[in-house]
Amino acid sequence: MPEKLQDIEIVGIVGAGAMGRGIAQVGITGGMTVRLFDAAPGAAAKAAEAIAAQLDQMVSKGRLADDAAAAAKMRLQVIDRLEDMVPADLVVEAIVENLAVKQEVFRQLEAIVRPDCLLASNTSSLRIASIASACSGRTRVAGLHFFNPVPLMKLVEVIRAPGTSDDAIAALVKVGERMGRVPVVVQDSPGFLVNLGGRAYTQEALRIVAEGVATPTQVDAVMRDAWGFRMGPFELMDLTGIDVNFPVSQIIHEGYFFDRRLATAPLHQLLKESGQFGRKSGRGFFEYGPDGKAMVPSPDAPSSTPPAARVVLAEEDEALGELLRSFGFDVTGFDDGELPILCAPLGEDCSTYAARLQLDHRRLFAIDIAGRLDKRLTLMRAPGGRQDLLDALVARFHEAGRAVTAIHDSPGFIGQRIAAMVANLGCEMAQIGVASPDDIDKAMTLGLNYPFGPLALADAMGPATVHTVLAQLQAITGDDRYRPSLWLRRRALLGLSALTAD
Ligand code: NAI
């Protein structure tokens, strides 16, 4: 490849919509010259005005020096003809998400630009290989996948298609860094990295609600308060828009040939079909008032009865006994036939637990101790579980300063189940080489604002624990959806970190 590749100074951008203008902005603030083109007359000029206004705002907030903003504006050139891309070292395409239209633009670009000019697409759902198939030279074609809004989202996925050269990838990584982004190199696979990795969190949450285990507001509260996520899966889906995240789910599920682990729930489609897209339509999983605030029912179990004083452990469990005592319970090993029976299962539901140990399922209550316990606890019971005993337990936890989410029977509660699915998908992405283990975690934290990457999450729970939760889920539901990744299985068996590369 020509040396020029290492030194990209002129970046052409085709498409001056939401993404194109964001990429242009980080291009000029990164010191490169940007040539911006859009097929719609006046669109590129309008985008240039919007970019200038953004830079002015950055200056007024003290985030950009006056002279730097002026110099950046000088580096932005609006062009009216695609032919004016001739001097470009790289052209990034950010036009409508349509394969035939993108292929046509790449064909035209090949005839215009120098042979050493790189060609990149910002597509989020098409394969780079499909776009590159329209080109005669494929070594210079790659993906450069930014996130919206580009100036605020630090991540950029550099997508390697089967024909892309190492030099082209290296040059794009460098461009990404100059644009102030954090590049990760990703294989040309359905959903690339972040859009694939994000499926587990929301789709498992949907299945939990669809099964009647808990409500969206309960799931969100548990994932925020006990598992440290900044947003619950339902508020997240309402924010991104169900008209966007349902089709993405479908594309990825199909792209992986209907792997059960990637299936979403009919409820997801139902909301899409009914036009309940989330925030943008005033109603999704939640309803939004005129002020844009969600009108969310309380996720907390009420307590108006006297608190339970004594509980019996389902089986010997020192850690659980100690924990319950810290909440003020008198913990006994003797079952008098009246006391609430408490257990802390991993991946097992109350029904299975009660049947296995021949316990009175009406008095059996499970507490999820895998997440954080300082704010909110999850309490689960089998069908027919006694409401009076549950109320008394909730009252005791309230006295100890904890909110309680009371749910119906579910292997892995809410939190273990969603966390195990997030971790398992991260492991699977590592196994099939979507990206390196470190890059998977880096991309998921930057691209989705997760507090930790999926592999770090697997390590925090312990790979063996995650494996146990999934194996139980798979055994109890009989659903291949919970099949543990071989990456996870091997690291669990060998006592290794989930971040251990092959
Ligand atoms: P947009 O609809 O805001 O902008 C697309 C622009 O491309 C329009 O200004 C349109 O006039 C122009 N255009 C259409 N056909 C053209 C052609 N043949 N030649 C030149 N210009 C043409 O779309 P947006 O959201 O900016 O998306 C662009 C691309 O980025 C799509 O491939 C999309 O999948 C991808 N993407 C979008 C993200 C998002 O959140 N909006 C995130 C990541 C990727």
pLDDT tens track of the chain, all 502 residues?
444 455 899 999 999 999 999 999 999 999 999 999 999 999 999 999 999 999 999 999 999 999 999 999 999 999 999 999 999 999 999 999 999 999 999 999 999 999 999 999 999 999 999 999 999 999 999 999 999 999 999 999 999 999 999 999 999 999 999 999 999 999 999 999 999 999 999 999 999 999 999 999 999 999 999 999 999 999 999 999 999 999 999 999 999 999 999 999 999 999 999 999 999 999 999 999 988 899 888 899 888 899 999 999 999 999 999 999 999 999 999 999 999 999 999 999 999 999 999 999 999 999 999 999 999 999 999 999 999 999 999 999 999 999 999 999 999 999 999 999 999 999 999 999 999 999 999 999 999 999 999 999 999 999 999 999 999 999 999 999 999 999 999 999 999 999 999 8
Q: Is the CB of 95 under 6 A from ligand 1?
A: yes
94 lines ligand 1 (CB under 6 A): yes
Residue 318, CA distances (Å) to 78, 153, 322, 376 in order: 70, 45, 6, 21
Residue 1: per-residue pLDDT:
43
Contacts of 103 (CB under 8 A, 6+ apart): 130, 131, 133, 134
Q: What is the largest CA-CA distance in the chain?
A: 86
- Reported as type and span, the H/E element at residue 207 is helix 199-210
Q: Does residue 195 carry a catalytic annotation?
A: yes
Report residue 52: phi and psi, to 5°.
-60, -40
Q: Taking the chain, what is the end-to-end CA distance rounded to the nearest angstrom?
A: 30
Which ligand 1 atom is the nearest neighbour of the CA of 97? 32
Angle between helices 415-431 and 463-477 (to 10 degrees): 110
pLDDT at 89: 98
- Does ligand 1 lie within 6 Å of residue 148's CB atom? yes
Active-site pick, 121, 122, 195, 351: 195
Which ranges of 30-154 would DSSP assign to H, the alpha helix?
Answer: 43-60, 66-74, 99-112, 128-132
pLDDT for 394 equals: 97
Q: Ligand 1: which of 25, 37, 38, 144 to mutate, most ligand atoms within 8 Å of CB?
A: 38
Tell the residue number behind the tokens 């997440």, with chain if given.
Answer: 371
Q: What is the pLDDT of residue 345?
A: 98
Give the distance (Å) from ligand 1 centre to CA of residue 21: 10
State in Å: Cα 301 to ligand 1 middle: 46
Residue 147 CA to ligand 1 centre (angstroms): 12
Contact 69, 59 (CB under 8 A): yes
Ligand 1 nearest atom to the CA of residue 102, by list position: 18
Choose the catalytic residue: 157, 235, 348, 428: 157
The rounded distance, in Å, linking the Cα atoms of 119 and 168 is 9
Q: Tell me the C-alpha distance between 29 and 393, whole Å.
A: 58
Distance 441 CA to ligand 1 centre (A): 28
The CB of 17 under 6 Å from ligand 1? The reply is: yes
DSSP for residue 162: T
Q: Whose CA is nearest to atom 39 of ligand 1?
A: 148
CA geometry: angle at 474 spanning 473 and 478, to 5°?
115
Q: Could you give the CA distance from residue 153 to residue 382 in angstroms, rounded to a whole number?
A: 44
| pLDDT the model gives residue 32 | 98
| Whether residue 249 lies in the annotated active site | no
Is there an atom of ligand 1 within 6 Å of 123 CB? yes
User: 332: left (phi > 0), else alpha (psi -120 to 50), else beta?
Assistant: beta
Q: What is the pTM of this model?
A: 0.95
15 lines ligand 1 (CB under 6 A): yes
Give me the domains of the chain, ranges plus CATH numbers: 5-188 (3.40.50.720), 204-294 (1.10.1040.50), 310-403 (3.40.50.720), 415-494 (1.10.1040.50)
157 has catalytic annotation: yes
* Residue 342 · residue 367 · CB < 8 Å: yes
Identify the pLDDT of residue 3: 44
Q: Residue 174 contacts by C-beta under 8 Å, 6 or more apart in sequence?
A: 6, 8
